[in-house]
Amino acid sequence: MAMKNKVVTINISEIFDWRAVVQQHKPGQHSELQRQRLSMYQRVLPELEKWSTIFDLNIAEWSPIYGYDLAKGRVKSCAYYGICGVESIDYDLSLLLAKLCFWLYAMDIRLDESPSISYLDARAMEIMSPFKEQLIEQGILNFTSDLLAVPNKEDNSIDRRIAQALSEIYLSFKQLCHTRLSSSVQEFCLSNFVKEFTAVVKAMHWERKHSLLFQQFDRLGSGQDLQITLEEYLELARITTCYRFVASPVVAFETTPSSTWIQCEEAMRYGGRIVRLANDLATALREMEEGKINAVSIVLRDLGFNPFATYSLESPEIREALRLLKEQMEVELIQFNQQLKALPLSGPLVHNVVINVAFAIAMYEKGDFEAEVPY
């Protein structure tokens, strides 16, 4: 049974005030809305923990980066996102978003830790398998050319579990659509979900593939680099933030899903770029140590510094790169705010678009590996 509350519009000033958005919508005791969100969080969290156990998504067991405490923290942050990303207090949609968020963490880690391109290809193909026939039929993905897997002997049981969890999420979303939408609108929402999922996997595949090549250049002492500009990187890497994908179930709660999605596309574009910059600013040194491409390594290269070198936060090179990227983020926030001014002040998708940016910045300002929820 969904709990109803008065819809709260989000005030948009000249500069996007993400702190005010977080303060207004976080779970707490200072307002009726905060109390409702806290109550919903307490319902969603144990269900998300149970769901992750059922599908055996034990990230701490198969990831060398994620320990037990961090994995538990991710469950909390995903439950937190699920209840804040929904405009009206709705248990079913909140739980669905929380599951999708945690599932994306699991998939991202699995692809991101692929030791070679052949492993990466095989993992991506297995994870996408629930939609294989649909993707080929619609021409969205050609499995033989887009992800040409070289056979390997890796046990793919983890990838199968991730794929099974995706199937359950999709079925839950399909049931939500069936209860509230006409068949034609259902078709748009479900197809849009699959399209955005495919875009995420392909972009993550590109990122990991080129990070592996990046590492190879480093080992060989090659003077080559990937020749990708910061603009090109942001346009691709905004997709891997999953900003649009996590919003795709929410649009089903709009009166006119298709037109509303189109109306919000530019705001989502800038939102994804902001989330990517927030992520890279918070995780730069760790990702550079792991040999991953990010905005900081690209700016270091553009400044004439070695992106393969070891730096600290006190290094003059890093300080200059971070300064330039923070300036870029301010530009993106202004552009995002301009897009919001052209949108309604309330509505399920607009709410989600705003919340995604605000809470992502809050999380990364407290540190990428902060186990507690922001603020």
Q: Does residue 10 register a pLDDT over 70?
A: no
Which distant-in-sequence residues (6+ apart) come within 8 Å of 69 by Cβ? 371
Q: Tell me the CA distances in angstroms from 106 to 40, 52, 129, 210, 239, one per residue in order.
A: 23, 10, 16, 20, 17
pLDDT confidence tier of residue 45, bands split at 50, 70 and 90: very high
Determine the pLDDT at residue 314: 92
Arithmetic mean of pLDDT, 357-364? 90
Q: Is residue 135 part of a domain?
A: yes
Any idea which residue has 């530019």 for tokens? 266
Instruction: Report d(CA 98, CA 78) in Å as an integer.
Output: 5
Angle CA 81–85–86, to nearest 5? 130
Of residues 155 and 1, more confidence is placed in 155
Number of domains making up the chain:
1
Any idea which residue has 């398998």 for tokens? 129
Determine the pLDDT at residue 276: 96
Determine the pLDDT at residue 368: 45
pLDDT confidence tier of residue 214, bands split at 50, 70 and 90: confident
Determine the pLDDT at residue 371: 40
Asked if 70 and 367 touch (Cβ cutoff 8 Å), the reply is no
Q: Is residue 354 part of a domain?
A: yes
Determine the pLDDT at residue 199: 92
Q: What proportion of the chain, given as a percentage, has pLDDT over 90?
A: 55
Determine the pLDDT at residue 206: 87
DSSP string covering 263-287: HTHHHHHHHHHHHHHHHHHHHHHHH
Q: 48-69: per-residue pLDDT in tens?
A: 999 999 998 877 666 666 555 5
Q: Does residue 2 register a pLDDT over 50?
A: no
Determine the pLDDT at residue 277: 96
Q: Does residue 47 register a pLDDT over 60?
A: yes
Arithmetic mean of pLDDT, 103-118? 89
Euclidean distance between the first and final Cα of the chain, in Å?
29
Q: Is residue 8 part of a domain?
A: no
**Residue 353's domain is classified under what CATH number?**
1.10.600.10
Arithmetic mean of pLDDT, 301-313? 89
Determine the pLDDT at residue 71: 62
Q: 151-206: per-residue pLDDT in tens?
A: 556 678 899 999 999 999 999 999 999 988 888 899 999 999 999 999 999 899 88
Of residues 60 and 101, more confidence is placed in 101
Q: Does residue 266 register a pLDDT over 60?
A: yes
Q: Is residue 146 part of a domain?
A: no
What is the average pLDDT score of the chain? Answer: 85
For the ranges 28-32, 54-58, 59-63, 97-101, the one whose mean pLDDT is highest: 97-101
Ranges 80-94, 103-117, 217-231, 317-331: which has the least confidence: 217-231
Task: Tell me the pTM.
Answer: 0.87
Where in the sequence is the domain holding 169, given as residue range(s)? 18-139+158-366
Instruction: Report d(CA 120, CA 152) in Å as an integer.
Output: 10
Q: Is residue 144 part of a domain?
A: no
Q: 124-145: per-residue pLDDT in tens?
A: 989 999 998 887 777 666 654 5
Any idea which residue has 């980066």 for tokens? 65
Asked if 352 and 85 touch (Cβ cutoff 8 Å), the reply is yes
Q: Is residue 13 part of a domain?
A: no
Q: Does residue 3 register a pLDDT over 50?
A: no
Give the helix ranges, DSSP H, for 85-182: 91-112, 117-127, 132-138, 157-180
pLDDT confidence tier of residue 6, bands split at 50, 70 and 90: very low
Q: Tell me the CA distances in angstroms from 37 to 84, 143, 250, 255, 256, one per residue in order.
A: 7, 42, 17, 24, 26
Ranges 8-17, 162-171, 240-249, 282-291: which has the least confidence: 8-17
Q: Is residue 10 part of a domain?
A: no
Any idea which residue has 């198969």 for tokens? 62
Taking the alpha carbons of 368, 121, 133, 56 in that order, is the dihedral positive or negative? negative
Q: Is residue 254 part of a domain?
A: yes
Of residues 209 and 173, more confidence is placed in 173
